Amino acid sequence: MQAILVGFMGSGKTTVGQLLAQQLNVPYHDLDDIIVAMAGKSIQQIFDENGEAAFRQLEHIALARSLAQEGILGTGGGTPIQAANFSLLQKSNVPVILLDVLPETIMKRLKDDTGRPLAKELGLSGLVDLKSQRDDRYEQVSNYRIATDKLTPIEIVKILKRQL
């Protein structure tokens, strides 16, 4: 991988990752999509039918497999929180970029979200609590942090291309 994007749900990892990959002319890999392909069902179905722990196992396998690939990797919001993933990311020698986002922005972006099991389960205020529990981990695992709230995806990619 040339770069790995981490950050909370709604931080723009997929949008920014796809745009960055396009501009660098490399493939974009989305960890959630890889997990869906591995399981043959949606993230929501994995959570409903197999539970979060099963999802986290698939997520770890998907991460371990992806690191050797070429391109940009967009992780899931919970990926770096698992200890085994945290150490894989730290050892990877790939720049890890944190797309940081304010709770207000998350609330706005995830207000009508139906595809994320944790958003459904926790509600908006629960998501904000979850983010504050995770923030230290995101900071620790990343080599660069970009506060994305006031930037467009194009502006974020411009900054990233200077850093990579």
Nearer to ligand S3P, 24 or 122 (CB): 122
Nearest CA among 163, 144, 151 for reference residue 15: 151
Q: Which of residues 51-110 bind ligand S3P (CB under 6 A)?
A: 76-78
Distance CA 10, CA 85 (A): 20
Residues making up the binding site for substrate: 32, 56, 77, 134
Question: Of the candidates 10, 11, 19, which has an alpha carbon nearest to the alpha carbon of residue 161?
Answer: 19
DSSP label of 41: S
Name the residue nearer to ligand S3P (CB basis): 4 or 77: 77
H or E element that contains 89: helix 83-91
User: Is 12 near ligand S3P (CB under 6 A)?
Assistant: no
| Alpha-carbon dihedral 63, 65, 67, 71, rounded to 10 degrees | -100
**What phi and psi, each to the nearest 5 degrees, are found at residue 72?**
-110, 135
Indicate the SS3 state at residue 31: helix
Other beta carbons within 10 angstroms of residue 37's beta carbon come to 10
Nearer to ligand S3P, 5 or 160 (CB): 5
Nearest-approach distance from CB 137 to ligand S3P, in angstroms: 11
Q: Site for ligand S3P (CB under 6 A): which residue of 117, 124, 137, 151?
A: 117
Q: Could you tell me the smallest distance in angstroms from the CB atom of residue 126 to ligand S3P?
A: 12
Selected binder of ligand S3P within 3, 9, 34, 98 (CB under 6 A) = 9
Interface with ligand S3P (CB under 6 A), residue from 32, 58, 66, 160: 32
CB of 78 to ligand S3P, least distance (A): 3
Residues engaged in binding ligand S3P (CB under 6 A): 9, 13, 32, 43, 76-78, 116-118
